[in-house]
Amino acid sequence: MDDKTSSPIPGVQYHPLHPTFAAEVTGMDFANVTQEMVDEIKRALAIYGVLVFRKTGLDDARHVEMSHMFGDLDDIKPFVAGLGQTNRLSSDYLFDVGNVNPDGTITQPGTMRELLLRCNYHFHADSAFNPRRAGYSLLLAHHLPPPGHGGATEFADTRTAYDDLSQSEKDRINDWVVNNSQLQCRRSANPGNPLLQTDEFDPMKHRFGKHRLVQTHEASGRTNLYIAAHSHHIDGMPVDEGLRELLKLLDYAGQPKYTCPVEWRDPGDLVIWDNTCTLHRSVKGTYEGKYKRDLRRTTVHDMSSQAWGLNGEGATWRFGLP
Ligand SMILES: [Fe+2]
């Protein structure tokens, strides 16, 4: 697709949101999702990394049904177990990433659920901490705060960030293997909080998802910097030194010139992104503790040859499962 704004499907148009990635899409009919449409979305995702669709009209059932057409789906069982809660949603394929408690009330600041969700305020790639990482995420808005109260989702273009590194830096980091942990993100999002200073929240007492830092993004052939707020240490390097290096790279990739915010406007808005070439984070706002921000995500396992990283193809453990 040389012309970034054109599509082989009549009426479908891409409207770039940033000079190097992300686009809003018009002309897609989500009342009748076809495999041709899914294939076109995948082709565009290889270019843009992030696609925004407004007022799709999707509900939970059709959200899940469509997501199955993208590939193998991850499920939420380990996360529900990790939070010690029941799933308030209708399907185990729906990740509950909003601020609504299982009883329907708004999650309050300082509760354990809110402390753990703070991880989402930091740039990350979904499931980098699992043996098989996430490929696409499909996030659908159900209930949004009033305008002006925050709650956007911001994305970062890690392919362009890699391109811009000096050749000497590319050579220096080329073979690094990164150990990722959900607990690294949770602890760093709550610095010094004694509730997270237990063994239960100590990354070194749990498994890591091992993935190469520098990888070919197979769908586009470009090189990606696969880093996240989950990144904890680097194989063959002292833990503290590795973390310093990783935090520097995370800050580098999160510079404003590589990032693009997406505002949620209406229920039914859908954003699909490729976790293997972008990062994302939730933007804080005055809605917290006051207004519902109900967003539900399906997560498609990475289907590329890099999916399992160095964790052994077919590994069955996932973070949060005993
Ligand atoms: Fe996420």
Q: pLDDT digit string (tens) for 115-158?
A: 988 999 999 999 999 999 999 999 999 999 999 999 999 999 99
Question: What's the chain's average pLDDT?
Answer: 93
Percentage of the chain modeled with pLDDT above 90: 80
Distance 119 CA to ligand 1 centre (A): 9
Distance 300 CA to ligand 1 centre (A): 12
Q: Which residues contact 217 (CB under 8 A, 6 or more apart)?
A: 46, 159, 223, 224, 274, 276, 277
pLDDT of res. 319: 75
Amino acid at 2: D
Q: pLDDT tens, 210-251?
A: 999 999 999 999 999 999 999 999 999 999 999 999 999 999
Distance 193 CA to ligand 1 centre (A): 22
pLDDT of res. 83: 57
Name residue, tokens 């006051």: 290
Q: Which residues contact 171 (CB under 8 A, 6 or more apart)?
A: none
Distance 165 CA to ligand 1 centre (A): 25
- pLDDT (average), residues 19-37: 96
- For residue 6, what pLDDT band results from cuts at 50, 70 and 90? confident
Q: pLDDT tens, 76-123?
A: 877 666 656 677 888 999 999 999 998 899 999 999 889 988 999 999
36-50, 147-161, 184-198, 224-238: lowest mean pLDDT where? 184-198
Task: With a cut of 80, say whether residue 5 has pLDDT above it.
Answer: no
Cα(161)–Cα(278) distance, integer angstroms: 10
Distance 139 CA to ligand 1 centre (A): 9
Amino acid at 263: E
Cα(201)–Cα(250) distance, integer angstroms: 22
β-bridge partners, 140? 270, 296
Q: Which residues contact 192 (CB under 8 A, 6 or more apart)?
A: none
β-bridge partners, 168? none
The alpha carbons of the chain give a radius of gyration, in whole angstroms, of: 19
Distance 32 CA to ligand 1 centre (A): 27
Distance 26 CA to ligand 1 centre (A): 24
Distance 120 CA to ligand 1 centre (A): 6
- pLDDT (average), residues 48-61: 98
Distance 8 CA to ligand 1 centre (A): 30
Task: With a cut of 70, say whether residue 204 has pLDDT above it.
Answer: yes
- pLDDT (average), residues 35-53: 97
Collapsed DSSP state (helix, strand, coil) of residue 89 = coil
Element (H, E) at 153: strand 153-157
pLDDT of res. 306: 94
Asked whether the whole model's pTM tops 0.85, one would answer: yes
pLDDT of res. 3: 52
Residues having C-beta closer than 5 Å to ion ligand 1? 126
Contact (Cβ atoms closer than 8 angstroms) between residue 183 and residue 202: yes
pLDDT of res. 81: 62
Distance 304 CA to ligand 1 centre (A): 19
Contact (Cβ atoms closer than 8 angstroms) between residue 243 and residue 232: yes
